[in-house]
Every structure is written in C-alpha cells, then in structure tokens.
Structure 1
Amino acid sequence: MNFRQLALKNIRGNWHQYGAFFWSSVFSVTIFYIYSAFILHPDVINGSMPAASKIREVMIACDYIIVIFSFFFILYSMSAFFKSRKKEFGLLTLFGMTKGQIRWMVLLENVIISILAVACGIGIGSLFSKLFFMGLARLLEVDSPIRFVIPVKAVLLTVIGFLLLFLTITLLTLYQVGRSEIIDLLRASKQPKKMPAFSIWLVVLSAVCLVAGYTLAYQITLMNFILYFMPVVFLTVLGTYFLFTQGSVFILRRLQRRTSLYYNQTNLITISQLTFKLKDNARMLFMVSILSAVILSASGTVYVILKDTRNQLMEHYPQSIAFAEKGLDSHRVLDPDVLKSTLKQNGVELDYEVRMAGIPVRIPVELGGRVREQQLFIVSEEDYNTQAKRQGKPELRVERGHASYIYPYKEQQRKSFTPGQNLEAKLKTGTRTFTLDEQINGSVVPTQFDISTLLVTDASEFKEMMDATPNEDKSVLYGYEIKNWEEASPTVHQIEKMVPEQEKQNFGTRVNQYLETKQLMSLMLFIGIFVSFLFFIASGSMIYFKLFTEIEEDQAQFRALTRIGITDKEIRRTVSKQVGMIFFIPLVVGLVHTSFAMKALGNMLISNIWPYAAVVFVIFALMQTLYFLAARRSYMKRILAHSVR
C-alpha cells in the first residue's frame, strides 16, 4: 500500500469527521464562485448592465468576508481533526513511520479533500449561478435576463484562491505533527481530567458585563448610537466569554448540589459529563454564540429594514406626491390641475389631496450656547388635525396665544424648546409671541421641505395673521395620495419631468424612494442570505466537529455504563440531553444578544419591529433544530454501535 492509497483509506475511514468539513468547504467555494462569476461577468465589466454596478461592490466585500471566514473555519477544522487523530499518529510512529512520512500522508489527505471541495464547489456553483442570475435580474428589473456564462477568470480565481488557502492551513497544521512525541500522542485520549474549576469573581464579572451591555443596548437611539455601539459590543463579548468559561461550570456545580434533581434518573450522568464538556468546549461555544448573534443581527437588521421601509417612508412622505410653493396660487413648481389631469389620463385614481397654506417665520433658537434663527411654518390647528386624523396621530387643541411645536423627524428625539417657553415669531407685520404648549416629534407633512417644521396655532388667531400677510409672503404645501401608489411609478416619473429644474428641491415623491429603497434592501437580503447561511453551516459544523473529536472517550464511558446496567433507552436520553445542550445553549445566548440588538434597532427606527425579527428568529431556530437532529442521529448511531452489553 502506497501513501496515496493510505490517504484515501484514511479519508473513507474518517468520513464522519471529514463529511461536515467537506460540505461546509464546498458551500464556501460555491458562494465565492457564484459571487465571483457575477463580479467578473462580461456584461457587468463592460457596463452593459448598468443596474448591476450598484451591487458589484457589495459582492466584492462579501467575497473578502468569505475568504477571511473560510481561513479561520478551515484552520479550526484542521486543528480539530489533528487532535482527534493523535492516538492514530502515535501508533503509526510506533510501527516505524517517520514524522516526515506522517506529514506527507496528512498533506495528501488534505490535498485530496481540497481538490474535491474546490471541484464540487465550482461545479455546484456553475449549476446554480443561472438561478442566482435570474433572481438578480428580477430584483434589478433589467429588461433582458442576465446571460449564463462561466467566466474563466472566476474559475481561476476560485481554484487558485482556495487551493492556496487550503495549502497554507495544511502547512500550519503539519507543524503541530512534528512537535508531538510518541508518548504524548498515544496518551492523548488517556490524559486524566481535573475537576473543572471556576472563579466566582469572573462569574460576577460576566453577569456585570452582560447586564451593563444589555442596559446600554436597551437605551440606544439614533442620537447616541456611535457613542454606545463599541461599549455594548465589548461588554457583551467579554461577558459571553466568561459566561461559558466560568459561568457554565458555576451553574452545573450548583445543579449538582440539588440532590433531588441530580440523582433523578440519568441526570447524574448527564450533568457530570456536561460539566466537563462545557468547560472543555467553552471557547468553541463562545465563538458559536457570537457567530449566531452576528448572523441573527445582520439578517434581522436587513429583513427588518426591508419590511419596515414602507412604514418609514409613510412617515417621511405622508402623501404619494407632494410639493411646496412660495406664494398663493403661484404654481412655480407645478399646476395642481395639470397634475390631476395627468393622473386621470393615465388611469391613476386619486385618494385625497391636501392644500395647507401657512406663513413661514423665523424664530430664535439657542443651540450650543449660540442663538440662531430657525425657520418654522405657522399653520392652523384645523389643517393640522385634518392630516393628523388621516394618519392616525393625536389631534391638537391650541388656545389663543399658545402654539405647539412639531419637529419633523420622529427618530431624532431632540428637544428644541421646553413647554411654557415663549416663542417670538418674526412676521412681516411685526413680532407675535406664543407660549409653547408641547413639542411633538413626527410631522404630518413631508420632511424634505424647508417648511416641514410646524408651529400649530389657534384657528382664529391664524386667520388674523393670514389676513395681515401678503399673498407673496405665504407658502402652500400640496399633497396628493393616490391609490395603488406602489404601481404608479411611470405616471409619477412623467409628472416629475414637468417640474422646472430650479424647483426640483421643492418636489418630492414617495413612490420612487420606496422602489429604490426596496430594491436595494431586497438585493442586500438576497446576497446576504447566502453568506448568512454559510456562517450558519460553519457554526453548526464547529459543534459537529467537537462532538466527533471526543467520541472515542464518550464511547468508552458508555461501554463502562452498559456493563453496570444502563439501557439503550437511557443512553439515548442522556446523549440527546448532552448534544441538545451543546447545540441549543449557544443558540439561546445568541438569541438573547440579538433581542437586545433588535431593541436598539427598534429604538432607532421608532417602530415596532418585533414581528419581523420573530420571523428571522423562528427560521434560524428551525434550521438549528434540523442540524441538531441530523448530528444527534449520526452521533447516536456511533455511540450505540460501540456499546457493549
């Protein structure tokens, strides 16, 4: 038997370990190739597909992420394989094989696995790239489908890149083989384990860090995000590390003291073995927990923003089409009759229209110790309440001589004025003083115009001011809400062309903003799903590797237990609990971390995002459950096969 045959036999014999690593590597290569095939697609490079240029940079960034992540994942996997085969290497050394020959055998094994993974990844990527291109073409709304091609540069980039990656990590792994002595290799699985210990101070530190991190995350808003983000990440990561390295042992040791629980059925075996397993695998579980939180947070954020786009735009653009004009009936931006006629000609039905006239004024505001003037738009409480009622917002009651300040941006919770403060409005006819009743964040008019910040006054007092103000010093806000506005893009685009170039800043539409934002977020979600799924497969594989690197020790323990009368049913129950704990504890920790991340996101968006976040949570939990069932089945089969009655 030569080294090539020996390497092939070792791969077949260790396929239960190589399998998860191999398919995870194949998936990494597949995603990398598909993204590279689009990046290096002739139509993208030549500019024949202008709409695709906006996501080319995103895919390039994803390729870098895949390579960096694959490096650490493969390095971890190779190290896990080496540790699980120390006894095998010791026996081969005892039979006369030199360290150089062992290195050559391991190198051949990894080269074979690498070539197969790259070949399978490119083959699968080529098969599914057409579907990927079809999905992109639909999201980009291009007139013709993206041509199916297999770019030679993409193939070469994938082959050279991943083979170099595999080779580099293999060489790093081989360095460990040469440093181990025969006696160490043979005794690798026989080393006695000390009772896991913990530091109560580190347990307390873990709790303090997590509570502090969660508290800060709970308080994050758009205004303090930059200030709070890094402390939250640092505290959460540090707290999670000590939670697994110290807290897990603390909790299990406490459970051992509860005799009613500890001595109930097979809990003694389960808890005793978990005490060692969680301590030994603490770093791996820590990494999986953080990885799960990253996957859930990233996927949840993109999905939430995609689903919440409509609500956010409805807040900032209450009407489908809106424009602001200086002067009554000046029609500098657009003639309302022409707009309504265009809608009718194109078969677009108008739901309602808004005409809100008012007076632009300047009011002194103290910001940073300096007094500056801010432009407000004085409107009647009747006009304001009409729009507030339509939008489901509270109506106002304003007395004469009083006013309510309406700040346009709901997500920015700043306070420009305080209740009871006197505001001096500089009108053309003189200065008028108002007592401020309240400040409300979130306007009923489009937020993009200069007159979006409102000062709501008593109706009779407003009429007096309007009568005393020349028409040319007044402003008018026009708004038009159309039915099925998501499908009215061609008509809205036609109307937008009628607006003079110098008045473009005074015209706004929700339709185009919605379609552009929705398209971008859909593309981000579409691209991110593959990377997130890659991270998910890798995180599950890390747990899978750990289970099978310790399987010989577990088999020996269960063989001993069967000799003293433990049944197959009890073994199944014990194994299910242990494997379930290792799979689902990181999931639970990741879900808790992500829940606070979603709370922070909800604070920034000023929106109820939990229904959307729950969808992501449920999907991830179901996927993890399927992975757990598959791993448990394979693990159980190996354990029961080696149990001796």
Structure 2
Amino acid sequence: MNFRQFAVHNVLRNKRIYMAHFLSSAFSVMIFFTYALLLFHPDLQGELVSSSGTLSRLGTIGMQVSEVIIFVFSFFFLLYSVGAFLKLRKKEFGILILLGMSRNQLNRMLFVENAWIGFAALAFGIGIGLIFSKLILLASARLLSIQEGLRFYVPLKAVLLTAIAFGVLFLLIASLTSIMAGKERVAELIRSEDKPKPEPAASAGLSVLAVLLLVAGYVIVFDFAINRRHTSFQQLLGGVVLAIAGTYLLFTQTSVYLLRALRGSKLFLRRTNLLTISELTYRMKDNAATFFIVAVVSAVAFTGIGTTLALGDPGLASMVNPYAYSYSAGEDQSFGAQQVKKIGDELTAAGYSYKAHAMLPLSTEGGYTVVRLSEYNQLAADLGYRAETLGGDDEMFLTPSYVWQKEDMDQAGYPPGPVELIIGNQKASPHFVKYAPRIVLPDIGYAGTAVITDRLFDKLKQGYADPLYKTYLFTVPDWHKAVGVSRELMESINNDGQNGDYLRSLSLEWLSSKQKNGILFIVSGLVGIVFFTFAASTIYFRLYADMDRDEKQYGMIAKVGLSGKELSRIMTRQLFLMFFVPLAMAFVHSTVAFVALQRLVGYSILANSLKIFGAFAAIQLAYFLVARWRTVEHLKRKIS
C-alpha cells in the first residue's frame, strides 16, 4: 500500500463521520453550479423574455452576489467541519506519530485526504447539477414568469467556473489542515479522548443579560418598523446585533444556568432525569456555539425565503392600486366611452367578469384633490367596502391615495378644523369629519384626497377652466390571470397616443414585480436552503463528535442496569433538544422579523410565514427521526 492509498483508505475507514462533510460539500457545489447555470444562460444575458433590460441586470447582479455568498460561506463552513473531524482523530494521529510517522508526513496525509474528499464532492455536485439542469431551468422560468421558458443549453462556462472556484477552495482547505491539526505532543494526542471534562459553569448575571439583550434587540426592531420615518438603518442593524449577542449568551450561559438550577428540584431525582439533565448540561455547554450558529443561520434562511414569498404575493401588488385596469380618458369623452366598452367586451369574451365606474378628480389651489361622494361609494362597493356618508356641504372626509399616505394618516389621523377649497372663482370651507383608511381612489391626491358631497363638487367644478379628464376603474376578481388579455389591450390602446388616453394594467405591473421577486426568490431561496443544510450538517458533526464518548458512558451505565428502553428515552430527549432548540430560537427571530415586515408593508404575511415554518419544521423532524433511529440503534449494538 503506497502513501496515497493509505490516505484514501483512512477516508473510507472514517466514512461515517466524513459523510456529512462530503454531502454538504457536494450540495454547495451543486447550488453554486445552479447559479452559474443561470448566470451564463443565453436568455438571461440580454433581456429577460417578456421583461426589460433592468430586470436582466438585476438578475445578473443577484446571481453574481449569490455566487460570492455561497463561496465565502462554504469556505468557513468546510473549514469548521474539517476542524471538528480533526479533533475526533487526535488519538489516531498520536498513534501514527508514535509508530514513526513524521509531522510532515502527517500533514501530507491530511492534505491528500481532504483534497480527495473535495474533488470527489466537486465531481459529484457538478454531476448532480447537470442531471437536474433541465428541471432547474423549468423551475426558474416559472419563478421568473417567463412565458416561453428558458431553453436548454450545454453549460460549459458554468462547469468551468464551478470547477475552478471550488477546486481552489478545496485545495486551500486541504492546505490549512496542517495548521488545524496543531503541534501537540504525542502523549497529549493519545490522551485527548480520556481527559475529563470540567464542570459546566454559567454566570447568573450573563444569563439575565442574555434575556435583556434579546428584548432590547426586538424592541429596537419593532420601533424601527413602527416609526421608520424617524429612524435609520443603523438602528435596525443595532437591534439585529443585540439580538445575535443575546442569542449567543442564551445558549452559552442561560441554558446551562437553568439546567444547573434544576439539580435542586424534585424533578431532578425522578426516574432517569438525573442522568438526562446532567448529560444535557454538558451537551449544552459543549454545543452552545453550534446551537448559536444553527439558530442564526436558520433565522437568516427563514426570513430571506419568507420575505421573498411575501413580496411575490398578488395581494401586496393590489395594495398600491386595487383595480385591474385604470383607463384615463382623453378630452374626447365619446371616444373614451368607446374604449371603455372595448375593454369590457375583451374581458367578457375572455371569460372574465368585471365592474367599471368612473372617477372625476378636481385639483384645488391648496393642493387637495376632491372627488364626489357618489363616485367614492360606487368604487368602494366594487371593492367590497362599506359606503360612507356626509351630513352636508360643510363636511368632507379624507382618504389615502398612496400607501405612504395611508401610513402617515394611520399615525396622524385627519387634520381638525375647516380647510378652504378654491377652484377658480369658487370657494368652500368644509370640516374634516372622519378618515376613511382604505385606498379606494388611487394615485390622484398627492397632497391629500378629500371626498365631498355631489352638490358641493358640482359647485366647485364651475370654477374649473381646464379640460376635465375622467378615469375609469375596473375591478376583476381574477385579475392576475388576465395577462394575455392585458397585453392585447395595452398594445391596442397605448400604442395610439393621438387621443391622449392611457391604460394601466395591474396584472402586467404585477408580472414585472413578480419577475423581480422571482430573481430574489431564486437568490434568497437557494442561499437559504444552503444555509439550512449547513446548519443541519453542523448538528450532525456535533452528534457524531460525541458518539465515542456516548458509547463508553452508556456502556458503563448499562452494566449497572440501564435498559434499552431507558436509553432510547434519554437519547430521544437529548437529540430532540439538539435539533429543535436552535430551530425554535430561529423561529422566534424570524417571527419578530415577519411581524416587523408586516408593519412596514401593511399587508398580512402570516400565510407565507406559516408555509416557511411548516416546511422547514417538517424537514427537521424527518432529519431528527432518522438521526434518532440511527443513534439509538448504534448505541444499543455497542453496549449490548
């Protein structure tokens, strides 16, 4: 057996602990290759199909940024995993040196081992990416709402970029193994597994500080969301940093302190709780850094994917303008009426029901825009809102026309007292009597939209000297499905600018937004999945890092009467906490982020949040059940 075969044999002999490292490396390669596949795609080099050059540039930038994120994060993750495995093999290194292996030979062996694992993962990851490349392109085309799809091509540039990038990364990791292996003496290496662990200690003050930091971080984030016009990005960053610091202290101090406090309770002496709680105290102390990393990384994954899903929701698009079509007629009112009939006929022919009513806004000299009460109530009824009333010509109410306006009015309410409305030689001073918070009259009153009685409106209109232009607003229940009809209407109406009319389509605006959000979803989704995979692999590393110690410990306890059923119960509790305590902390962080986001956008994202939490919880549960089964069965075989 030559030296290279000896190194490869070592990897195969330790395949149980190296498997997670190999699979995580291969998964990183596959995701990196996926981004490269899209980055170099011919259809994404110029314009996105049915989109604009801006979207193409955004997509290219997003892919490039994602490549860098995956590469950098993969480097640190793989460095961590290699370091964890080297610690498990210290006794083996000591024996090899005792048998005559030099330090240089040991370093060379570690280099060959890690290079072999890295290049095997590189080949496997690219191979899997190539196999599923057609499926990836189909899914990406759907997310980007590209009607014609993304054609299949031979991704030579993507393969070359991935091979070079990760080839360099794996060689760098392999070169650093000699530094991570350390320079400990032979006796210390051999006795590394037999050293007793110190008693876990925790500070009561730091335990309380952890809770205070978390609460302070959450309060700052909520304050940013509620009073965002008076805050800064630095404040948001400060809140996140405080929450992260609190999370670290929560795992390193508070969890250990609470478990130690349980030792004085009756619960500690019940059945196998003495063994369970004592072992958990050591595990929490040993795994605190791992739990912290898993919680933070998982929270980033949940928040990124959940936010992108919320941004792509049709309901968020309809917040700005709830109408499927907004047709601004020109000065020729009869021609405008013909165009309105044409829009209605096209919708009916395509099988869409609709309602359409006109709005005639007037701008006053004071900056307000006024609208008839009857027109407001007609449009409100189309949207399913209740009708409003006014007591007379001396009353008016305020309603928002923009999302930012609604947010300001929600906080400030409506201004008291009379306001003078002046149009030409006509004047009126009605009082604001209420605030209607729904956006029923979109995009008209930048300074403020006031609804007045029809009689007062007709009086003020007499002073208006400029031509009057009506806007017809269409409500369509399934507006997001009417993309084809919208394209035809936009081409036939907006391409002829002779009559001064203009048509807006909510479905086409949402489609453009969805393409942007599709890019965000691909970027944040795949990065989030990589982060979550790395987090799960980190738990795997810690689980198998403790396996040899568990075998010895439970083997000795089994000799004094520990049954297989009791072993299964103890390990289930310990593994459950290892898998779900960091996940629960990530859920809490993400929930705070989602609540703050909901406050920012004014739209419920509960459904999207539950989808993300449910999906990742199901994946983690499946992973937990498999890990529990394999761990318990392995320990039972070893101690039987």
TM over 0.5: yes
Question: How far apart in 2 are the matches of 1:515 and 1:338?
Answer: 24
Change (3 A) 1:395 1:145: closer
Question: How far apart in 2 are the matches of 1:126 and 1:187?
Answer: 47
2:112 corresponds, among 105, 108, 117, to 108
What does 1:278-289 align with in structure 2 at a 5 Å threshold? Answer: 278-289=284-295
Question: How far apart in 2 are the matches of 1:41 and 1:474?
Answer: 50
Question: How far apart in 2 are the matches of 1:450 and 1:264?
Answer: 70
What does 1:374-453 align with in structure 2 at a 5 Å threshold? Answer: 375-400=367-392, 401-410=394-403, 412-415=406-409, 418-447=414-443, 449=444, 453=448
Q: Is the 8 A contact 2:396 2:450 kept in 1?
A: yes
Q: Is the 8 A contact 1:398 1:456 kept in 2?
A: no
Question: How far apart in 1 are the matches of 2:594 and 2:144?
Answer: 28
Q: Is the 8 A contact 2:418 2:432 kept in 1?
A: yes
1:251 corresponds, among 254, 258, 280, to 258
Question: How far apart in 2 are the matches of 1:520 and 1:30?
Answer: 24
- Matched residue of 1:408: which SS? coil
* Residues 614-642 of structure 1 deviation map (CA, whole Å, 9 limit, x = unaligned): 11101110001111122222322332222
Q: Is the 8 A contact 1:87 1:189 kept in 2?
A: yes
What letter is aligned with 2:96?
L
2:482 corresponds, among 481, 488, 498, to 488
Match of 2:567 in 1: 571
Match of 2:364 in 1: 361
Q: CA deviation at 1:5?
A: 2.4
Q: Is the 8 A contact 2:122 2:167 kept in 1?
A: yes
Match of 2:175 in 1: 171
What letter is aligned with 2:155?
P
2:299 corresponds, among 282, 293, 301, to 293
Question: How far apart in 2 are the matches of 1:53 and 1:295?
Answer: 25
Question: How far apart in 2 are the matches of 1:48 and 1:271?
Answer: 57
* Residues 567-586 of structure 1 deviation map (CA, whole Å, 9 limit, x = unaligned): 11111111111111111100
Q: Once structures 1 and 2 are overlaid, which stretch shifts more, 469-478 or 246-255?
A: 469-478
Match of 1:201 in 2: 205
Q: CA deviation at 1:191?
A: 2.0
Structure 1 position 154 matched with structure 2 position 149: no
- Matched residue of 2:326: which SS? strand
- Paired residues in the alignment total 625
Q: CA deviation at 1:557?
A: 0.8
Match of 2:525 in 1: 529
What letter is aligned with 2:337?
P
Structure 1 position 69 matched with structure 2 position 69: no
Structure 1 position 24 matched with structure 2 position 16: no
What is the Cα-based RMSD across aligned positions, in Å? Answer: 2.6
- Matched residue of 1:206: which SS? helix
Q: CA deviation at 1:600?
A: 0.8
Change (3 A) 1:486 1:407: closer
Q: Is the 8 A contact 2:346 2:485 kept in 1?
A: no
Question: How far apart in 1 are the matches of 2:299 and 2:413?
Answer: 40
Question: How far apart in 1 are the matches of 2:438 and 2:414?
Answer: 17
Question: How far apart in 1 are the matches of 2:500 and 2:96?
Answer: 79
What letter is aligned with 1:238?
A
Change (3 A) 1:73 1:240: same
Q: CA deviation at 1:208?
A: 0.9
* Residues 191-244 of structure 1 deviation map (CA, whole Å, 9 limit, x = unaligned): 222221112221121111111222233341464573642122111101101101
Q: Is the 8 A contact 2:327 2:471 kept in 1?
A: yes
Match of 1:368 in 2: none
Match of 1:237 in 2: 244
What letter is aligned with 2:399?
I
- Matched residue of 2:470: which SS? strand
Change (3 A) 1:526 1:326: same
Structure 1 position 461 matched with structure 2 position 467: no
Q: Once structures 1 and 2 are overlaid, which stretch shifts more, 353-362 or 265-274?
A: 353-362
What letter is aligned with 1:591?
F
Q: Once structures 1 and 2 are overlaid, which stretch shifts more, 60-69 or 132-141?
A: 132-141
Q: CA deviation at 1:177?
A: 2.3
- Matched residue of 1:530: which SS? helix
Match of 1:34 in 2: 34
Question: How far apart in 1 are the matches of 2:116 and 2:20?
Answer: 16
Match of 1:2 in 2: 2
Match of 1:367 in 2: none
Match of 2:186 in 1: 182
TM-score by length of 2: 0.91
* Residues 92-133 of structure 1 deviation map (CA, whole Å, 9 limit, x = unaligned): 112221111111111111111111101111111111111112
Q: Is the 8 A contact 1:321 1:509 kept in 2?
A: yes
Match of 1:477 in 2: 471
Change (3 A) 1:30 1:642: same
Change (3 A) 1:387 1:108: same
Question: How far apart in 2 are the matches of 1:258 and 1:304?
Answer: 46
Match of 1:546 in 2: 542
Identical counterparts, % of pairs: 31
Q: CA deviation at 1:142?
A: 5.0
Q: Once structures 1 and 2 are overlaid, which stretch shifts more, 93-102 or 616-625?
A: 93-102
Change (3 A) 1:139 1:276: closer
Q: Is the 8 A contact 1:118 1:163 kept in 2?
A: yes
Change (3 A) 1:41 1:489: closer
Question: How far apart in 2 are the matches of 1:143 and 1:510?
Answer: 18
What letter is aligned with 2:617?
A
Question: How far apart in 1 are the matches of 2:373 and 2:148?
Answer: 52
What letter is aligned with 1:384?
Y
Match of 1:11 in 2: 11
Q: Is the 8 A contact 2:119 2:170 kept in 1?
A: no
Q: Is the 8 A contact 1:419 1:439 kept in 2?
A: no
Q: Is the 8 A contact 2:256 2:281 kept in 1?
A: yes
